[in-house]
Structure 1
């Protein structure tokens, strides 16, 4: 059975991007958030991105307007009742996500699939908060969602073949490449990426080089399109810290110990682009 209606829980950067690509794939989309203003901001941002894509000839103008018309403010979670698929894109916190999954399990139809955009947490543990573990899966989109082709597909211990096939099929309709991984801390993407970012932070912390020099060396010497510290700012330093803590807790290996400087920046509220300051300063004139 194809997926025709999608509810996205969380209207932040990731959730709004997921809503956009789901609408472009032809799905009717409900976008939920605890903050109505955030949903309004997300819809405005989606409209701007779609208009920009149409102006640059990447999509037809009518495709842009039709996609925007398919996205609706979702209100409370109870409005997700008719969705074929719910994609949770809330903060990277197991208690928060488990509460959402437990609530959705009591609201959604028995055939509905519950997916998480988690970047590091256990899909098996999330599934255990529901009575439908066979219909729970991880769909880890990359940032920025409308641009990046990968969706890391995480199968929990009890995820069914049908659930995987239906969600992977939707990912392909979205123009993405779904790649299957097992349910381990950090999966593949962040198990490799985050220790590199963390080590880059250590080089700044230990006075080996400035943030600009570290990023320049990785860009000019290793042909990375973006330096690891600029990438950390884009991801969000709070998210980077949460993932490193998940890796450290999950594997018990000191190589995943978060750098004290990363922890200090998060405690100071220097979260990267979204707060205006991280390893770099953002905003007008910066």
Structure 2
């Protein structure tokens, strides 16, 4: 299968490992490009869309751009990393206007993509059959979760990281002790600070901010320490 990936360069190795070498991949970046580069980018997407069996869209690509309009006209299923908005909030034109289009949300955060189950959400309940078909073609099991900001696993992991930041900020334990305690006590593959670095502190902050604005639940109120690290673009010194 031809797989088109928009703005997924940060997880390219994990993406290829997840779906394997039997597929053909095309990675196209639209972020941080000069305006003069956009015609070439859109040309590349226009050429890739007709042959793509499925498209995955990461990050903050402007869904109002001409590039996304090209995806909306595609007959191929489109998976959107909906960590900051639910599919219902995105409201792409094709979601409401093209019964031939199939849109799904998915969890694409670094370290959370290459798992046994692909975590996905539905925009239309009728798309369950199509989802089963495309995941079979991709060679992955999957789990459908509620169409909510942050899906499920990102909510849990980012909340744990946030609580660890509060613990460190209050002087209860050191960063190294918190990481070691979580690994030994819960058998997590990483401690919360090492996990934040692997995901990207800025991404963790962005998910929590979106959850806070969506729910106003105190569990997702961002720790000042985490916010500072994210705004400075600095990883934790683990």
Report the TM range for the smaller structure's normalisation. 0.7 to 0.9
Q: CA deviation at 1:85?
A: 1.8
| Residue of structure 2 equivalent to 1:225 | 189
Deviation at 1:13, TM superposition (A): 2.4
How far apart in 1 are the matches of 2:69 and 2:232? 37
Task: Give the secondary structure class of the aligned counterpart of 1:115.
Answer: strand
**What's the CA shift string for 1:54-108, capped at 9, x where partnerless?**
xxxxxxxxxxxxxxxxxxx99732223302321102x2x4xx35235x6333456
After superposition, the Cα gap between the structure-2 partners of 1:173 and 1:262, relative to the gap in structure 1 and judged at 3 Å, is: same
Task: Say if 1:169 and 1:255 are closer, same or farther in 2 by CA, change over 3 A.
Answer: same
SS in 2 for 1:187: coil
Q: Which of 108, 117, 139 is 2:106 aligned to? A: 139
Q: CA RMSD in A?
A: 2.9
1:202 CA drift (Å): 0.6
In structure 1, what is the Cα distance between the partners aligned to 2:158 and 2:31? 30
5+ residue gaps, structure 2, are 34-40
Aligned to 1:151: 118
Higher normalized contact order (CA 8 Å, seq sep 6+, divided by chain length): 2
How do residues 105-184 of structure 1 correspond to structure 2 at under 5 angstroms?
Answer: 105-106=69-70, 109-126=73-90, 128-133=91-96, 135-141=102-108, 143-144=110-111, 147-156=114-123, 159-162=124-127, 164-184=128-148
Alpha-carbon distance, 1:6 to partner: 2.0
Report the CA distance shift for 1:249/1:142 in structure 2 as closer, same or farther (over 3 A).
closer
Aligned to 1:5: 2
Q: TM-score, normalised by structure 1?
A: 0.69
Say which SS state the counterpart of residue 78 (structure 2) adopts.
strand
CA deviation string 1:19-72 (max 9, x = no partner): 554463x433221113799xxxxxxxxxxxxxxxxxxxxxxxxxxxxxxxxxxx
Please identify runs of 4+ aligned residues in structure 1 that moved more than 6 A. none
Structure 2 counterpart of 1:259, from 196, 199, 223: 223
Match for residue 37 of structure 2? none
Q: Distance in 2 between matches of 1:85 and 1:79?
A: 14
Q: Unaligned stretches of 5+ in structure 1? A: 38-72, 273-277, 281-286
Deviation (angstroms), 1:200: 0.5
TM-score w.r.t. the length of structure 2 is 0.81
